[in-house]
Amino acid sequence: MSFFRSFNINTKEKPADYGQAQPNSCYNIQQWPYYRDLAIQSGHSAISSELASLRYSRLERSLYNLVYTPNDELDQFILYLDSRSFAPHLQFILEVNNFEKVIRENNIDDQQTIALTLFHKYLSLDAKYFLPINDEIRRTTLLLICPSDESSQPDLNCFQMAREYIWQLIERSEYQTYLQSSFHIKYQLKIVKENQLQLHDFLYHKPSLSYFMEFAERENIIDLIRFWTDVEQFYHNITNRELNDQILVENALSIYDQYISMQAPARLGFDDAIRTKIECSICQPDRTIGPLVDTFDQAVWMIYTILQQEYFPRFLRSANFHRYTNDLMIRLKHNDCVTSFQRKKSNDFVDTISVELENVPQATSFGQQTSITKSSSCSNINDEIEAKSKGRLSMGYVDSLGRFIRDPDVISTDISSTPNRKPYSKPLQFFTQLVRNEQDSMVTEEDAARFAATLINEITNRTVNIDTD
């Protein structure tokens, strides 16, 4: 059982006003009547694993924890990925993990069949849920599924390269965007409304920690938070070996001098036994070893317990927490408004394109008569284009057969000065380009000219009929 969860602060009566911060800059944690019991429990060897289980925040899980550890946020992440057409990417990762688990735990004869089913579902060129992996990964995966030797069993790690590639794709292009999305904010508000928040949710989430630190400033317990963050930075450095032993010793001594020693400017009030234990952990007989990784574990666990029991419930009732909740709701409303605006803008763009396409003549097949719908809106657009083109310089003109004739002197004339020149119109430009494309790929220049002549005659006849009507 968790030592933190099993610790009961109700065994002894608390002082009446110990919840209030002390007026001086030093915080005496021995003010709490359960300090001695807490010191005994925190001296247990399993405290390090207990702390490790608290080093995460549900307000911002890592992508690994979001996908691979049990949680109720994964549904929101899947909904987000589905809105971005990335759901098959995560589905592939989960199915590969399940495939590997089944193969390890069971002796299945048709392993190759199962692997090929996954390959054709996600990785083959005609896959139902085609994933954008490169050809090298695709070939390597297939070779590992169907080895060239006599063995018909695929390699257990045959999908490893593809899975890592898709994982990095999600992490680079989608995960950070998800953390700013409405889906993630809705999950955060869900935790808030269900009263599921714990201290570590705020300590390991920088945007939320700022609200708790404001509360700590008002309560004059900011040194407890600073001690926690300094120790966490030391723990990160020593576990990742980012600094050499000498610098790690200096960092540990700096924390000791700031918070632990009797002369510390922000002394937290630990007893002699804890101070001695920290001193021995920092100053090892063999100076090449450096400080131990659990140097401050006992002290920081005690600080965490006091913050969680005494101050975090008060924070949840404070104005700082209410402002935090309101800011989340404002962010959610803002994101929803932006999403709605983008969706409306996208729909308006599609509608505009649809209207323009309706006013453009549609060619049913080459050499066949076309159906032309002349509308007032299309006429207005053509008139506007013609009016704007008058008096402007041109590069050439379109003759009676729909062919573009370049000006011998590009700078010389405008459209209205040449009687044989016809102004551009949107339908005519459309079909002139169509003729050019067909000429390049399907027909000869003579066929294109005959088609253009037929088209112009059709336009002329229908224009005369409309004018007559």
Q: Give 365-395 pLDDT, tens digit per residue.
A: 333 333 333 333 333 434 443 444 444 444 5
pLDDT digits (tens, 9 = 90+) for 184-209: 999 999 999 888 899 999 999 999 99
What's the pLDDT at 435?
42
Q: What whole-number distance in Å separates Cα of residue 182 and Cα of residue 377? A: 40
Say which residue the tokens 């909740």 belong to.
325
Q: What pLDDT is recorded for position 195?
A: 84
3-state secondary structure (DSSP) of residue 190: helix
How far is Cα 64 from Cα 398, in angstroms, rounded to an integer? 62
More confident residue, 152 or 30: 30
Name the pTM for this structure.
0.63
What pLDDT is attached to residue 157? 87
Q: Are 216 and 225 in contact (CB under 8 A)?
A: yes
Which CATH code for domain 30-58+198-322? 1.10.167.10
In the prediction, which pLDDT does 215 show?
Answer: 95
Q: How confident is the model at residue 455 (pLDDT cuts 50, 70, 90)?
A: low
28 pLDDT tier (thresholds 50, 70, 90): confident
Q: Which residues have CB under 8 Å from 81's CB, separation 6+?
A: 87, 89, 90, 170, 174, 178
pLDDT at 150: 63
Mean pLDDT across the stretch 336-359?
50
CA distance 457 to 368: 13
* Nearest CA among 442, 397, 390 for reference residue 420: 397
Report strand pairing: 404-406 vs 396-398. antiparallel
Residues in the chain: 469
- The residue written with tokens 């392993």 in the block is 111
Q: What integer pLDDT is reported at residue 161 of this predicted model?
A: 93
Q: How far apart are CA 310 and CA 168, in angstroms?
A: 42
Q: 């495939």: which residue's tokens?
A: 99
Give yes or no for residue 439 having a pLDDT over 50: no
Per-residue pLDDT at 408: 54
The pLDDT confidence band at residue 155, using thresholds 50, 70 and 90, is confident
304: confidence class by pLDDT, cuts 50, 70, 90: very high
270: left (phi over 0), alpha (psi -120 to 50) or beta: beta
Q: Is the pLDDT reported for residue 284 higher than 60?
A: yes
Q: What are the tens digits of pLDDT across the range 399-433? A: 655 555 655 544 433 434 444 444 444 444 544 45
CA distance 133 to 164: 10
Q: Is residue 291 scored above 60 in pLDDT?
A: yes
Mean pLDDT over 95-111 rounds to 83
Distance of alpha carbon 11 from alpha carbon 110, whole angstroms: 61
What does the mean pLDDT of the chain come to?
Answer: 75
Q: Which string of b and e fits 193-211 if b means at least 16 CB within 10 Å?
A: eeeebebbbbbbbeebbeb
Confidence of residue 246 (pLDDT cuts 50, 70, 90): confident
DSSP 8-state code for residue 416? G
Residue-level pLDDT at 307: 94
Contact indicator for 154, 160 with CB cutoff of 8 Å: no
- Residues 363, 361: Cα–Cα separation, whole Å: 7
Q: 30-58+198-322 and 63-185 share one CATH topology?
A: yes
Tell whether the model's pLDDT for residue 320 goes beyond 90. Answer: yes
What was the pLDDT predicted at 382?
40
Q: What confidence tens digit (pLDDT) does each residue in 37-58 have?
A: 888 888 777 888 888 888 889 9
CA distance 184 to 177: 10
Question: What fold does the segment set 63-185 form as a domain?
Answer: Regulator of G-protein Signalling 4; domain 2 (1.10.167)
Listed by start position, the domains of the chain span 30-58+198-322, 63-185
